[in-house]
Amino acid sequence: MLVATRNPLNIGSAARAMSNFGFLHLRVVNPYEIAFREARSAVGASALLASAEEYKNVADAVADCTLVVGTTAVGHRELRHPLRRLEYGARLIRKEAASSRVALLFGSEKVGLSNQDLSHCHWLMRIPTREAHSSMNLGQAVAVCLYELVRDAKARGQQERPKRAAAGEVERMTALLNEALRLSGYFKSGAPASTEDKVRRLVRHLNVPAGDAELWLGLLRQIVWKLRSGEKLAG
Amino acid sequence: MLVATRNPLNIGSAARAMSNFGFLHLRVVNPYEIAFREARSAVGASALLASAEEYKNVADAVADCTLVVGTTAVGHRELRHPLRRLEYGARLIRKEAASSRVALLFGSEKVGLSNQDLSHCHWLMRIPTREAHSSMNLGQAVAVCLYELVRDAKARGQQERPKRAAAGEVERMTALLNEALRLSGYFKSGAPASTEDKVRRLVRHLNVPAGDAELWLGLLRQIVWKLRSGEKLAG
């Protein structure tokens, strides 16, 4: 919910972040009329913006919500409301939103939420910015809050990580590399087998992805081929 | 690190998010000259932007980093890189950044990072946007990624929650409310004590904050006073 927003770019970017993260119901309270009109008519304005509901005051805008949360850039220390960090507040919001409607209020760019706006809030939430520069751009603050609401604490990279090459492929790479090193004179003739083992360890450390192994084998074969043909000429 | 950014507003808002979250070293690679100049000279441009370092190519810009991570809005499925969700990737970045330098690359607004840019990356990271609208505004994407890097998974609201009123204050409130109800005729004369207990439960459910108790007591005293003076007149 955007309260008294002045800048059409900010209305637009808040709407874009909502769409990115799947929050499709925007309400605007008392926006600067021109800003709201401009935002709606902007190129690429989302369907979300077209269907945004406009209210004259916060009371009407939050009437059907069971939890109303205001956002603030700290600063005013004598807040009469519980103030929660985003990481924790988002958890409470998710819980409530599972069964009923929650309003998340963002104030105007210059002054944030007024005391009257705040009096409709159950509690306030702040993004953990550094104290020396706590005030965020409105569109960015919306994006960060909504991201926290959808982020998955259990997300792992496992499934999206590419498979490692099979040991057989890696061993073929190792053999070719050893051959190339032998042909280049890197190994003195009669070098102990342990030297080849060192190379094997080196190659294992690379963690070659499955999709790259064939390309590597091709590169190495070509180098070995070239070194061999040079040897024949020399011989 | 911003690569080939076109829009001065985006350079500015990326810098603002960096400052908000305490990342003070911006590098820009091959920006559109005019955009970079405009961003630097914009009103309110940060010290961070003034001290941003400019590079001709990604190779030079990442030369002193031990981990290079690219950002992408998925889409191209045949990525040759491991692709990690932000929640998980940020954990790996934090670990690496504890002991050495990490580069986080953001591509141009239109086309993202080129294949050549990507070839410098160890892996890629994506923000969990919804598939139907996955592409984020550049400044917002920067804000969300940096927020994830500084967020504190253990943050609790406890310390910032206002203290509850002491039981004695709540009991005085209860007594005044009971008195007011009696004076208003809400309680029939001779109502059992259990009726007052019900009111006590109601008041306990309110979880009155410590800072509000005195105000409540004042309000209730005034009501009781008014009711009593009415009773005297009637009597």
Tens-level pLDDT at each residue, chain A (235 residues): 999 888 888 999 999 999 999 999 999 998 888 888 888 877 666 788 888 999 999 999 999 989 999 999 876 555 677 889 999 999 999 999 998 899 999 999 888 998 888 888 889 999 999 888 888 999 999 999 999 999 988 876 554 556 778 888 888 999 999 888 888 888 877 777 788 888 888 888 887 888 888 888 988 898 888 888 877 777 6
Residues A15 and A126 in one domain: yes
C-beta atoms of A151 and B20 within 8 A: no
Cα separation, B50 vs B9, whole angstroms: 15
Whole-angstrom distance, CA of residue B162 vs CA of residue B139: 34
Domain CATH code at residue A102: 3.40.1280.10
Residue at a domain's end among B150, B175, B206: B150
- Kindly provide the b/e burial profile for residues B163-189, where b requires at least 16 CB atoms within 10 angstroms of the residue's own CB: eebeeebbebbbbbbbbbbbbeeebee
B3 to chain A nearest CA, in Å? Answer: 20
Whether B37 and B78 share a structural domain: yes
Please, which residues have CB within 8 angstroms of residue A100's CB and are 6 or more apart in sequence?
A: A65, A66, A67
Residues A135 and A178 in one domain: no
Residue of B nearest to A162 (CA): B82
Q: For B153, which of A17, A87, A139 is closest by C-beta distance? A: A87
**Section B150-164 average pLDDT:** 71
Q: Is the pLDDT of residue B160 over 70?
A: no
> What pLDDT, on a 0 to 100 scale, did the predictor assign at position B188?
76
ipTM above 0.85, yes or no: no
In a shared domain, residues A229 and A136: no
What is the rounded CA–CA span in Å between residue A219 and residue A222?
A: 5
**Structural domain boundaries, residue B208:** 160-234
> Which of A137, A103, A139 is CA-nearest to residue A123?
A103
Whether residues B132 and B164 fall in one domain: no
| Contacts A9 to B, Cβ<8 Å | 9
Give the separation between CA A168 and CA A91, rounded to whole angstroms.
Answer: 47
Q: Which is more confidently placed, A18 or B134? A: A18
**Do A138 and A170 fall within a single domain?**
no
**The residue type at A234:** A
Interchain proximity A85–B162, CB inside 8 Å: no
Residues of B in contact with A67 (CB under 8 A): none
Task: Give me the pLDDT at residue A185, please.
Answer: 84
Domain-located, residue B155? no
Give the C-alpha separation, B172 to B181, whole Å: 14
> Do the domain assignments include residue A155?
no
| Residue B228 in domain | yes
CB B88 within 8 A of CB B125: no
pLDDT confidence tier of residue B157, bands split at 50, 70 and 90: low
Question: Which positions in chain B touch A90 (Cβ < 8 Å)?
Answer: none
- Is the predicted pLDDT of residue B159 greater than 70, yes or no? no
Judged by phi (left if over 0) then psi (alpha if -120 to 50, else beta), residue B72 lies in beta
Please give the Cα distance from B73 to A212 (Å, whole number): 23
Rounded to a whole number of angstroms, the distance from the CA of A74 to the nearest CA of chain B is 11
Work out how many domains chain B is built from and give that number.
2
User: Taking a C-beta distance cutoff of 8 angstroms, is the pair B85, B126 a contact?
Assistant: yes
Q: Give the pLDDT band (50/70/90) at residue B76.
A: low
- What pairs with residue A69 in β-bridges? A104, A123
Q: How far apart are CA A6 and CA A27, in angstroms?
A: 15
- Classify the phi-psi angles of B97: left when phi > 0, otherwise alpha if psi is within -120 to 50, otherwise beta: alpha
Indicate the residue type of B111.
V
Examine residue B13 and state whether it is found in any structural domain, yes or no: yes
Q: Partners of B103 in the beta sheet?
A: B68
| A106 within domain boundaries | yes
In a shared domain, residues A126 and A223: no
pTM over 0.80: no
Does residue B76 lie in a domain region?
A: yes
- Residue B66 contacts residue A143 (beta carbons within 8 Å): no
Which of B10, B11, B20 best tests the A interface by mutation, with the highest count of A CBs <10 A? Answer: B20
Q: Would the CB atoms of A155 and B82 count as touching at under 8 Å?
A: no
The residue of chain A with its CA nearest to that of B153 is A87
Q: Which residues of A touch B134 (CB under 8 A)?
A: 20
* Minimal C-alpha gap between A66 and chain B (Å): 15
- B71 lies in some domain: yes
Q: Are residues A145 and A164 in the same domain?
A: no
pLDDT tens for residues B41-64? Answer: 776 667 888 889 999 999 999 999
Q: A-chain residues within 8 Å CB-CB of B72?
A: none
Give the pLDDT score at A21. 94
In the numeric block, the tokens 């074969």 are attached to A221
- Gap between the terminal Cα atoms of chain A: 81
Q: Do A134 and B19 touch (CB under 8 A)?
A: no
User: Does A129 sit within 8 Å of B16, measured CB to CB?
Assistant: no
Same domain, A137 and A170: no
CA pair distance A93, B194, nearest whole angstrom: 36
Neighboring chain B residues of A16 at a CB cutoff of 8 Å: 136-137, 140
* CATH number of the domain residue A175 falls in: 1.10.8.590
Token digits of residue A139: 């569109």
pLDDT at residue B144, as a whole number: 97
Count of pairs with CB atoms under 8 A, one residue in A, one in B = 143
- Reported as a single tens digit per residue, the pLDDT across B185-206 is 888 777 777 888 888 888 888 8
In the stretch 42-101 of chain B, residues with CB closer than 8 A to chain A read 46, 80-89, 92
- B143 and B166 fall within a common domain: no
Domain termination site, one of A150, A177, A197: A150
CB contact under 8 A, B88 and A156: yes
Contacting residues of B for A127, CB less than 8 Å apart: 20, 147
Q: What percent of chain B has pLDDT over 90?
A: 37
Residues of B in contact with A19 (CB under 8 A): 130, 133
Give the residue from B11, B129, B138, B207 with the most A CB atoms within 10 Å of its CB, the best one to mutate.
B129
* A198 falls within a domain: yes
Query: If you ran DSSP here, which 8-state letter would residue B162 be given?
Result: P
- A140 and A172 belong to one structural domain: no
Quote the pLDDT of residue B118: 87
Both B195 and B101 in one domain: the answer is: no
Burial of A215: CB neighbours in 10 Å, binned 0-12, 13-18, 19+: exposed
Listed residues B112, B131, B150: the one ending a domain: B150
